[in-house]
Amino acid sequence: MTQQGVRWTADQVLALAPDSASRKAGSKLGAAGPWSEAGSSDEGTVWGLCKGSGSKPYQTVIDIADAAGPAYKCSCPSRKFPCKHALGLLLLWAGEEGAVSPGQPPDWAEQWIKGRRQRAEDKRAAGASGSSSGSGDPEAARRRAERRAVRVTAGATELEQRLADLLRGGLAGAEQAGYGPWEETAARMVDAQAPGLAARVRELGAIPASGPGWPVRLLEECALVHLLDQGWLRRERLPDALADTVRSRIGLPSSADGPPVRDRWLVLAQYDTADTKLTTRRIWLHGADSGRTALLLSYGAAGRAPELALPVGLTLEAEVSAYPGAGQLRATLGEQFAPPTPTAIRPPGVTTAEASARYGEALREDPWLDSVPVTLDRVVPAPDGDSWQLADADADTALPLTPAARGRPGLWRLVALSGGAPVKVFGECGHRGFTPLTAWPEGAGEAVQLY
Amino acid sequence: MNRPSAPVDSSPPSTWEELVTAALLGTDRRTPPGCAPGREAPVALLDAAAVETVRRRAGLRPARAAQRPQPAPEDPRPALPPAAAHRLAMLLADRPGAAGGGRRGTSPDLMELLPQWLATANQRGFAPPPQSLPALLDAARGRTDLRPAVLTFAGPRAVWLARLNPDWRFALRAAPGGGAALPHLKDSARIQQLWQEGLFAERVALLSAVRTREPAAARELLTTTWATERAEDRLMFLDSLRTGLGPRDESFLEQALADRSRNVRATAAELLSALPGSALAARMAVRAGACVALDRTRETPAISVEAPHECDTGMERDGVVAKAPAGRGERSWWFGQLVEAAPLSTWPGRLGGRTPQEIVALPVADDWQGELHAAWCRAAVRQRDGEWARALLGSPSAPEAGGPGAVSLAERAKLLGTLGSAERAEWVAGFIATHGLSEAFQLLGVCAVPWGAPLGRAVVDALNIARDAGSYPWSFSGVMGLAERCLDPAEASRLDGLQAVPDESEDASPGAGGYWAEAFQRLVTTLRLRAAMTEELGTQAP
C-alpha cells in the first residue's frame, strides 16, 4: 500500500479531536515548523518530534493501523486524548506531501509499537484459548444473574405500581409534581440494577416541561415503559430474540457473541452525545459487500472523548460481531486487517416513503426503537415554515427534520452542499423526524459530516 | 412533537384522543374506552396506549413536500484543489475565542492568514467547496473587514444561502462590486427607478457603482434629486463623488458650496480644493499667497508668514471653518486651512522659482515652520502630489525623521501613500535602518504586501538588533505580526539562524532569548505556511 493511498483528509483528522480547544491547538501544530524527524512507515505508524516550550521536544507516535481505531502516544503531560501534538502530527501527515517522509521508525517509536502489537497478540491468543477463562466460575455467574433477575423483577413490579398510580390520578398532576418524584423512582431502578428502566424514568420526568403536546408524549412513553415492564415480567413466554431485546432494553449486560462478519466497512457517521456523567459515541458502519448496517457504541467520562474514533468517509477491512437481540444493530469491532483508507464507496439509498416504511417494520422486532439508520437518495433540503424537511427530488413526499437537528450548524452545511439540488443523506429516521448525519453531493465529492 | 404525518386510518383517531383525555384526567375520573372501571383500569389504559403508540409510530408516512427552494445559480469557477480546500477548512476551524489568549507560542495565527488566503483564491478565480460556505459567512459576519473578500470568494451560492438564513443578511446588502443586485448600467429606466424609490443603502450602492464606471452619469443622477435629499444623505452622496473626481464636477460642487448644511459645504470645498484647476483653488491660491512671502532682506532668504487677520464671508463660503478648536489661535487656524486648500503649484512661482525641495529647505521666520509644513503635507496628500510628498518626507536617514520633527509619523505615513510602492518600501527600509523599529509600525502599514527584498531585510535586521539589545519580543509584537503576514515567504530561509535560543548575555532581560527564538520560529512557520498556501492555490491555476 502506498502512503498516498492511506492518507486522510484534514476533516477526518480533526474529527478525532476530543474538544474544540484541542481542534484549534492541533490545527496550529499541523505545519512543518515545530516538527522534526517526522516520518511514517508502511505498517501504519506515524511519528515525529514536536518542539514545545521546554528544551526537550515531545515524542509523538500514532498507530493508525490499530484494530480499535488510531492509538496515540505522546511524551507531553496533556491529559487530552488524543493530545494536540498527535492531532498536529496527523494533520501534517494528512496535509503536505513530503512533510512526513516514509522510513523506518526510530527506536523510541518502534518500542512502543512493538509493545502494542505484542499485547494485542497476547490478548488474541488468550481469547482463542477459551472465553470462559476471564469470567470465573460459571456456576457463580449463573447465581449472580439469578439474583439480579429477582431484583429487576422487584423493580419492574414497583414501577408498574407507580405508573398505575399516576394514571389513576391523571397525568395533569404530573406537571405540578415536578421532577422530584421521578428522580426518586429512577434511583429505585438503579438500586434494582435495571439501568435501562432508570434512564427511561428520568426521561419521563423531563417530558412535562418539554412544551406543547407533552401529555401525548408522556402517555406514549409511559405506555412504552409499561410495555417493557410487562415484557420483562413475561420474558419466559417471549420468542428468544425478543426476550434478548427486552434484556438489553432493561440494561442487562450482554456480549457481542454474533459470528464475526468480515467486510469493507464504510464509516457513515460518528457523533457524541453527552449527559452529566457520560459521553456516548455512536459510530455507524455500512458493509460494502454485505449491505449490513452496524452501530459501534463507546463511552467516555463526562467531558472526555471516548477512545474509539473512526474518521467518516473511510473504509476499513475488519470483522464486526453483532450483539444479541431482535432488530439490534449494535455490534463490536473485531480484528482490523488494514489501516482505514479513503474510498469512493457510498451506501445505496432509498426514498422517504421507503425510509418511513423501514422504521415501521423495525418496530415489529423492537417496539422501543426511536429511529432506524437510513440513507436517503436524491433528496432536497427545503424550508417548511420554521422547520426544514428533506423532500424527494422525484416525488411529492418529504421527511421533516427533528427539532434538535434544526438548531445544529450541520443543517446549513447540508443546505449549502445541496444548493437546491438533490443530495444523498445518511441519518436516523424515526417518530420525531429525520436527523441528518452525513451527506454526499450528487456528483463527485467527499462525504460531508453534518453532526 | 413533529409528526411526519397523520396516523393511518385503520383505527379511528378518536380512540387515541380518548385515551389521552382519560390519562390526563385520571382513570378515577374518566373511564378509558373499552375498559371496565375500577382497580384494573389504569393497567388497561396503559395496555391500550402501548398498542396505539406502536401502531401510530409504525404507521407514520412521509409528509407532503413543501415548496422546494429555487436551485442556486451555477458557479462557473473551477473547484479549489483538494489541498487548498483542506487548508481553508483548517483556517476556518481556527476561530478566535476557543482557546485562551496570552502568549502565542510558536504556532501561527491562522485566522490572520485568512484575508491573504482569500485574496489569492480570488485572484486565481476558484469556487469554494459548498459545505464551507456557512463557516465563511459566519467568519464574515463577525468581521466586517473580511466581508468583501469573503463574498467575492463565496460567490452566487452564498447569496442564495443568505436568503434562507437571516444571520447572513449582510451578504444580500453588500453584493460585491455592486454586482448582482444592481441593475445593469445600460438599463437607465431601472436605474432611475431604483434611485427614486430605493432604500438609502441601495441608493448609495447604486450611486457608487455608477460613479465607478461613468462619473458623469452618477453626477447627473444626483442632480435630479439633490434639492429634495436630507442633509445627512446629501453628505453621503457627495462623498461618493470622491471616486473619479474631475474638472467636470466643478460647477456642481461650486453650487454645493452654498448648501444649507455646514458639513456638505465643507466636503464640497474639500473636493474642489483637490481640483487644482478649480476656481476655488484659484481663490485659495490668492488668499494663501497673500500670507506667505519670501523675505529677501536677510542674509539668507527666509519665508515670512503673515496670517490672515479675519475670516471673511468669502473664506467661509469656500469652506474655511471660522471657529478654531480649543487651544489654537484663530489666525494660525485660518492660515493652515488656506495653505492646505491652495494648489501646491502656486508656491514655486511665489517663492522665486524654487523647486519643492528647495522651498521645504528654506528657513521660516517666527516659528511658523510647523504650521506651514503641516499644511503643505495635508495639501500634498489631498492633491496626491508625489514631488511635494518626496520633498516633505526628506531623507529617511535624516536625524529629525525619527523624532517629533515638523512632520509627524501619521503625516509621513499619509505622504508615503502618494508614492509608488517601490519608492515607499525603499524609504521605509531606509527609515528602519537608521531609526529602528519602535516608530516604524505605522509606516510599515502603508507598504505593499509582500514586502520587497530591501524592506524585508531591513525589518529582519532590525528585529535581530532588537533581540541583541536584550529586550523582550513583545515590545515588537505589532511589527512581528505584520512581518508574519507581509514578509515575502522566500525570506524564510534567511531566518533559519535566528530560531536557535542564543546564549543569554548579562544585560539581557531574563529568558528573553528563549522568547525571541519562539517568536522567530512562529515567524518562520507562518512564512512556510503562507508559501504552502500560495502553492496549493497555484498549482492548478486556471
Question: Under 8 Å CB-to-CB from B202, ≥6 apart: which residues?
Answer: B181, B194
Whether A106 contacts A38, CB under 8 Å: no
Mean pLDDT value across residues A67-88: 80
Question: What would the pLDDT profile of B136-165 be if each residue is shown by its tens digit?
Answer: 999 888 888 888 889 999 988 998 999 899
Residue entry with cell 484647476: B277
Peptide bond into A105 cis (omega under 30): no
Greater confidence (B168 vs B6) lies with B168
A78 lies in a domain? yes
Residues of chain A contacting B52 with CB distance shorter than 8 Å: 223
| pLDDT number for residue A6 | 56
Residue A133 lies in a domain: no
Q: Are residues A278 and A242 both part of a single domain?
A: no
Angstrom distances, CA of residue A384 to CA of A401, A418, B145, B427: 10, 16, 34, 61
User: Residue B26 and residue A448: Cβ atoms within 8 Å?
Assistant: no
- CB-CB under 8 Å, A433 with B4: yes
Q: What's the number of domains chain A is made of?
A: 4
Both A109 and A156 in a single domain?
A: no
Least Cα distance to B466 among B480, B453, B452 occurs for: B480
Note down the domain range covering A64.
Answer: 3-125
Are residue A245 and residue A143 in the same domain, yes or no?
yes
* pLDDT score for B178: 40
pLDDT score recorded for residue B105: 61
Return d(Cα B466, Cα B468) in angstroms, integer.
5
Residue A245 has which C-alpha cell?
Answer: 431485546
All 3 cell numbers of residue B307? 496670517
Banded pLDDT at B540 (limits 50, 70, 90): very low
Q: DSSP string of B397-432?
A: TSHHHHTT-SS-HHHHHHHHTTS-HHHHHHHHHHHH
Do residues B484 and B474 make contact, with C-beta atoms less than 8 angstroms apart?
Answer: no
Tell whether A131 is covered by a domain: no
Q: Which pLDDT score, from 0 to 100, does residue B100 have?
A: 39
Chain A neighbors of B43, CB-CB under 8 A: 160, 164, 226
Kindly list the distances between the CA atom of residue B412 and the CA atoms of B287, B397, B424, B446, in Å, as whole numbers in the listed order: 27, 14, 11, 10
Q: Is A137 helix (H, G, I), strand (E, B) or coil?
A: coil
Flag whether pLDDT at B106 surpasses 70: no
Average of pLDDT values for B438-442? 79
Helix boundaries (H) for B125-249: 133-142, 147-162, 170-173, 188-197, 200-213, 215-225, 231-239
Using CA coordinates, name the residue in chain B closest to A224. Answer: B50
Q: Is A377 helix (H, G, I), strand (E, B) or coil?
A: strand
CB neighbours of B111 closer than 8 A, spacing ≥ 6? B91, B94, B95, B96, B139
A132 domain-assigned: no
pLDDT at A392: 94
Residues A286 and A365 in one domain: no
Nearest chain A residue to B73 by CA distance is A419
**Confidence (pLDDT) at A62:** 87
Asked if the structure places residue A101 within a domain, the reply is yes
Q: Using the predicted structure, report yes or no on whether residue B400 has a pLDDT greater than 80.
A: no
CB B316 within 8 A of CB B280: no
| B514-523 burial: b if 16+ Cβ within 10 Å, else e | ebbbbbbbbb
- CA angle (B149 as vertex; B147, B154 as ends), nearest 5: 90
Please identify, among A299, A314, A342, the residue that sits at the C-terminal boundary of a domain.
A342
The strand ranges marked E within B268-326 are 292-295, 302-305
Does the residue A134 lie in any domain? no
Given A250, A277, A293, the domain boundary residue is A250
Higher pLDDT, A353 or B4: A353
Does position B539 have pLDDT exceeding 70, yes or no? no
Comparing A259 with B510, the larger pLDDT belongs to: A259
Whether A336 and A365 share a structural domain: no
How far apart are the C-alpha atoms of B82 and A7, rounded to whole Å?
A: 13
Question: Distance between CA A202 and CA A184 in Å, rounded?
Answer: 9
**CB–CB of B267/B238 below 8 Å?**
yes
Contact (Cβ atoms closer than 8 angstroms) between residue A383 and residue B69: yes
Whether residue A224 lies inside any domain: the answer is yes
Confidence at residue B456, expressed as pLDDT on a 0 to 100 scale: 86
Q: Are B338 and B320 in contact (CB under 8 A)?
A: yes
Contact A400 B4 (CB under 8 A): yes
Does residue A401 register a pLDDT over 90? yes
Mean of pLDDT over chain A? 86
Contacts of A25 in chain B (CB under 8 A): 99, 107
Contacting residues for A51 by C-beta, under 8 A, at least 6 apart: A34, A35, A36, A57, B106, B521
Residues A368 and A430 in one domain: yes
CA torsion, points B102, B103, B104, B105, in degrees to nearest 10?
-140
Q: Which of B45, B63, B67 sits opposite A167 (nearest CB)?
A: B45
In chain A, what percentage of residues exceed pLDDT 90? 43
What are the DSSP E strand ranges found in A178-325? 261-274, 278-287, 293-301, 314-322
Cα gap A85→A134, rounded to integer Å: 36
Does the CB of A106 have a partner CB in chain B at under 8 Å? no
Q: Nearest CA to CA, how far is B458 from chain A (Å)?
A: 23
What is the pLDDT, as a whole number, of residue B102?
45
Which of A4, A20, A24 is the best mutation test for B, with the most CBs of B within 10 A? A24
pLDDT higher at B509 or A425: A425
Q: In angstroms, rounded to a whole number, what is the distance separating the alpha carbons of residues B197 and A446?
A: 46
Percent of chain B with pLDDT over 70: 88
pLDDT of A160 above 80: yes
List Cβ neighbours of B388 (8 Å cut-off, separation of 6 or more).
B344, B356, B376, B379, B380
The model carries a pTM of 0.74
Give me the residues of A, 384-413, that contact B with CB < 8 A.
384-385, 387, 389, 391-392, 395-403, 409, 412-413
At A451, the amino acid letter reads Y
What integer is the mean pLDDT of B14-27? 89
Q: How sure is the predictor about B99, in pLDDT bands with cuts at 50, 70 and 90?
A: very low
Same domain for A181 and A283, yes or no, is: no
Burial B11-28 (b: 16+ CB within 10 A, else e): eeeebbebbbebbbbbbe
A255 within some domain: no
Whether the CB-CB separation of B536 and A39 falls below 8 Å is answered with no
Calculate mean pLDDT across residues B472-476. Answer: 77
Which residue does chain A place closest to B500, by CA atoms?
A: A55
As a whole number of Å, the CA-based R_g of chain B is 34
- Comparing A227-241, A361-375, B288-302, the range with the smallest average pLDDT is B288-302
Looking at per-residue confidence, does B462 or B405 come out higher? B462
Q: Is pLDDT above 60 for A129?
A: no
pLDDT digits (tens, 9 = 90+) for A229-257: 999 999 999 999 999 999 999 999 888 88
pLDDT at B287: 92
Of A351-365, B289-303, B332-346, the range with the lowest mean pLDDT is B289-303
- Using the CB atoms, write b or e for B141-174: b if 16+ within 10 Å: beeeebbebbbbbbbbbbbbbbebbeebeebeeb
Q: Which of A250, A278, A309 is the last residue of a domain?
A: A250
Which DSSP helix (H) or strand (E) runs through A376?
strand A371-384
User: What are the tens digits of pLDDT across the range A275-300?
Assistant: 777 888 899 999 999 999 999 998 88
A76-80, A347-351, B102-106: which has the highest mean pLDDT? Answer: A347-351
Instruction: Let me know whether A330 and A405 are in one domain.
Output: no
Residue A393's nearest CA partner among B86, B68, B306 is: B68
Long-range contacts from B250-254, C-beta under 8 angstroms, 24+ separation:
B250/B275, B250/B278, B250/B279, B252/B219, B252/B222, B252/B223, B253/B278, B253/B280, B254/B278, B254/B279, B254/B280
**Residue A420: which pLDDT band, with cuts at 50, 70 and 90?**
very high
Q: Would you state the pLDDT for residue A27?
A: 77
Partners of A389 on chain B (C-beta within 8 Å) are 63, 65-66
Q: Do the Cβ atoms of A70 and A63 come closer than 8 Å?
A: yes
Q: Closest CB to A360: pick one of B59, B94, B130.
A: B59
Q: Are residues A7 and A118 in the same domain?
A: yes
Backbone φ and ψ of B127, nearest 5°: -95, 145
B471 burial via Cβ count (<10 Å: 0-12, 13-18, 19+): middle
The least confident of A127-131, A343-347, B30-34, B510-514 is: A127-131
Q: How confident is residue A8, by pLDDT bands cut at 50, 70 and 90?
A: confident
Nearest CB among B93, B99, B131 relative to A413 is that of B131
A63 touches chain B (CB under 8 A): no
Instruction: Go through B201-228 and write b for each residue having 16 or more CB atoms within 10 A of its CB, e for each that does not.
Output: eebbbbbbbbbeeebeebbebbeeebee
**Mean pLDDT over residues B376-392, rounded?**
87
**Domain spans in chain B, listed from the N-terminal domain onward:** 13-56, 188-275, 279-393, 419-536
* Separation between Cα atoms, residue A293 and residue B147, nearest integer Å: 43
Q: Do A363 and B43 touch (CB under 8 A)?
A: no
Of chain B, the percentage scoring pLDDT greater than 90 comes to 11
Report the DSSP beta bridge partners of residue A374: A427
pLDDT higher than 70, residue A445? yes
Q: Which of A373, A313, A375, A380 is nearest to A350 (CA)?
A: A375
Q: Do A34 and B54 touch (CB under 8 A)?
A: no
Contact B4 A399 (CB under 8 A): yes
- Claim to verify: residue A435 and residue A321 sit in the same structural domain: no
DSSP bridge pairs for A63:
A45, A71
Output the domain CATH number for residue A377: 2.40.50
CA distance B417 to B424: 8
Distance separating alpha carbons of residues B230 and A74, to the nearest angstrom: 67
Residues 312-371 in A contacting B (C-alpha not used; CB under 8 Å): 352-353, 355-356, 359-361, 363-364, 367
Render pLDDT for B238-260 as a digit per residue (tens, 0 to 9): 888 888 888 888 889 988 888 88
pLDDT digits (tens, 9 = 90+) for B309-321: 888 888 888 888 8
Flag whether pLDDT at B9 surpasses 90: no
